[in-house]
Structure 1
Amino acid sequence: MLALSAEGILPKVDYAVFADTGWEPAAVYKHLDRLEREIAKPAGIPILRVSSGNIRKDALDPDHRFASMPLYILNKDGRPGMTRRQCTGEYKIKPIKKKVREILGYPYPVRIPKGVFVEQWVGISTDEFHRAKDADVQYMRNRHPLIVDMDWSRTDCVRYLTTLGLADTPKSSCLGCPFHGNAQWRHIRDTSPSEWDNVVEFDAAIRKGNARANATGNRLLGQAFLHRSRVPLGEAPIDHVTAAEWAQRQGELGTGPDADELEQGVADGCSPWACRGTDAEPAQDDYGLAS
């Protein structure tokens, strides 16, 4: 959408906003710098980088309130579970809304007058038109240009990016997002050893839940993992194996409709307004604890 606006195919936007969780792959930050340098600045479109902190650091800090990420849980009785997903709201939606209020001139807790709003573009293509929803606040009105103006599918978007030399656009999501598929885990392991060490260490560090919960006595009543197999990430079955072996090693996941999701991941990217992680396994309780 930024490129379409910069080229004049879509109206010129006032700003583009990147919500930084502090734990994106290095390739994403490099790509963002390139977009800013080659597309946004020449078109006079400021890219605003907003943040609520570093999600990895916060999860391991006993003195910091942490919005839980959707960790896979193995309960003491062997049943699987999943902690509540609060990270998107805290680390993406919250800082974007804060910046929007500042742009409008009504920072929290100042009340925004009726009729004052921004038009916010959300990059959902026709493949996922059912995820196009209205904003949940009156001072933001969502518009979906890829659907309404362009009638573009994901394939159309990729084709357009390719013409701009951006075919290698990396997937934006936290380095250690539990919604990664095996393909993404392998890519990290095989192309960036330092980032692989980073996520393996984090996986081990959150085995008993986030540090804040443990410090306040709200201990996880099971074990937490980044990979859906619910084994340590460094030992998880992320390589290609036979269908029969998947059935044996993945238990209830088997080789049914979840097989592609197991390989490619739950979401194509972590969008603040349309994260497909919402459709993942249900959370167990309001506190992100296994019970």
Structure 2
Amino acid sequence: MTHVPPAPRPDRIPVTQSTGPALRLLSLGAGVQSTTVLLLACEGAIPRFDHALFADTGWEPQAVYDNLARLRTHAADAGIPVSTVSQGSIRDDALNPEHRFASMPLHVRNPDGTKGLARRQCTNEYKIRPLKKAARALLGYPYPQRVPTGIYAEQAIGISTDEFARAKDADVRYLRNAFPLIDLGWTRDDCKRYLTEKGFGQTVKSACIGCPFHGNAGWRWLRDNDRDGWDNAVDFDHAIRHGHPHANNRAQPLHGQYYLHRSCVPLAEADLDPPGPRRALAVVNDYEPEGCSPWSCRSGESINTSLAA
């Protein structure tokens, strides 16, 4: 069930001359880094949050939803509410001929055999927009009301020092991004050690089941640890091969073929074996790229713009 957070108090947060945040929020992906940030706040190692927000695409592995449920209970004991916000199910919407398709960065094999990557719009639509909407509501200024100058929420994001290049400023005045893990000098491995100490050592990476940014390591994990999720991804990979139904219904067929795996072969047939000492290409394919953290991607990025009519 989707929980849209209400405004934190009956009235709007008053406009003041204070330079401090009106609210402290956590953008919670329920993966390794953001889980670490929430637990640190729960134990008082960093300032507590007024709210943690999980943007649900409707297509996360069950392990992520299980972790989210546990975090919700754990954080409630520390007085930090965890809410789920959602724009809908990205998978269902992609296969719905009546629904506009927010383009996913699917791999494309063009008619001439070259490969490309479709535009990435899904992160903006299914993560950034609902998170911004929730932040506005919590501040007491839901869209289209204007948030007064000087009123903002500090938004913590789980980016560690080994990913510091992904840390970016917010693109709206009512949000200011903060990076507690970078401030602490923590790496992803530091987060893993901390989670193990706190009994959260089974926390997995948060990403859509069918995210085209998975490397072979990610696909292997899904295949070997979440068979329902793997079958779900294989079915989607097959269903999307010739474009999304909405575009096809509008006589905008794909000039090529879509794939989830970067090799542009059906996911069920892709070589996912771990790299051996002489498999240099496999090492590259095993790598997990930057993914789509909602506050560090280049939404709308287009690498191949001539895929559809």
In the superposition, the TM-score normalised over structure 1's length comes to: 0.88
In 1, distance between residues paired with 2:284 and 2:39? 29
> For 2:176, what is the secondary structure of its paired residue?
strand
Cα 1:194–1:216 shift into 2, 3 Å: same
In 2, distance between residues paired with 1:19 and 1:52? 8
In the superposition, the TM-score normalised over structure 2's length comes to: 0.83
Kindly report which structure 2 residues correspond to 1:57-96, keeping only aligned pairs within 5 A, or say none. 57-96=92-131
- Which sits farther off after the overlay, 103-112 or 218-227? 103-112
Which of 7, 14, 27 lines up with 2:63 in the alignment? 27
- Which sits farther off after the overlay, 11-20 or 233-242? 233-242
Q: What is the CA RMSD across the aligned residues, in angstroms?
A: 1.9
Question: How many positions carry a matched residue from both structures?
Answer: 272
Question: Does residue 271 of the first structure (1) align with residue 301 of the second (2)?
Answer: no
Kindly report which structure 2 residues correspond to 1:245-260, keeping only aligned pairs within 5 A, or say none. 255=280, 259-260=282-283
Aligned to 1:239: 273
> For 2:258, what is the secondary structure of its paired residue?
strand
Kindly report which structure 2 residues correspond to 1:8-157, keeping only aligned pairs within 5 A, or say none. 8-37=44-73, 39-148=74-183, 150-157=184-191
In 1, distance between residues paired with 2:149 and 2:39? 32
In 1, distance between residues paired with 2:99 and 2:150? 37
**Is 1:64–1:212's contact at 8 Å kept on the other side of the alignment?**
yes
Aligned to 2:39: 3
**Is 1:62–1:215's contact at 8 Å kept on the other side of the alignment?**
yes
**Is 1:63–1:212's contact at 8 Å kept on the other side of the alignment?**
yes
1:15 shift after superposition: 0.5
**Is 1:75–1:290's contact at 8 Å kept on the other side of the alignment?**
no
In 2, distance between residues paired with 1:33 and 1:270? 22
Aligned to 1:251: none
AA matched with 2:54? F
Cα 1:60–1:4 shift into 2, 3 Å: same
> For 1:28, what is the secondary structure of its paired residue?
helix
Aligned to 2:285: 262
1:261 shift after superposition: 4.4
1:243 shift after superposition: 6.3
Aligned to 1:171: 205
AA matched with 1:46? P
Cα 1:111–1:261 shift into 2, 3 Å: farther
In 2, distance between residues paired with 1:194 and 1:22? 14
Aligned to 1:284: 304
In 2, distance between residues paired with 1:132 and 1:240? 30
Cα 1:65–1:132 shift into 2, 3 Å: same
Cα 1:41–1:137 shift into 2, 3 Å: same
In 1, distance between residues paired with 2:190 and 2:275? 32
The runs of 4+ residues in structure 1 deviating greater than 4 Å are 241-244
1:187 shift after superposition: 1.9
Kindly report which structure 2 residues correspond to 1:187-226, keeping only aligned pairs within 5 A, or say none. 187-226=221-260
Q: Work out the percentage of aligned pairs sharing the same amino acid.
A: 56
**Is 2:275–2:283's contact at 8 Å kept on the other side of the alignment?**
no
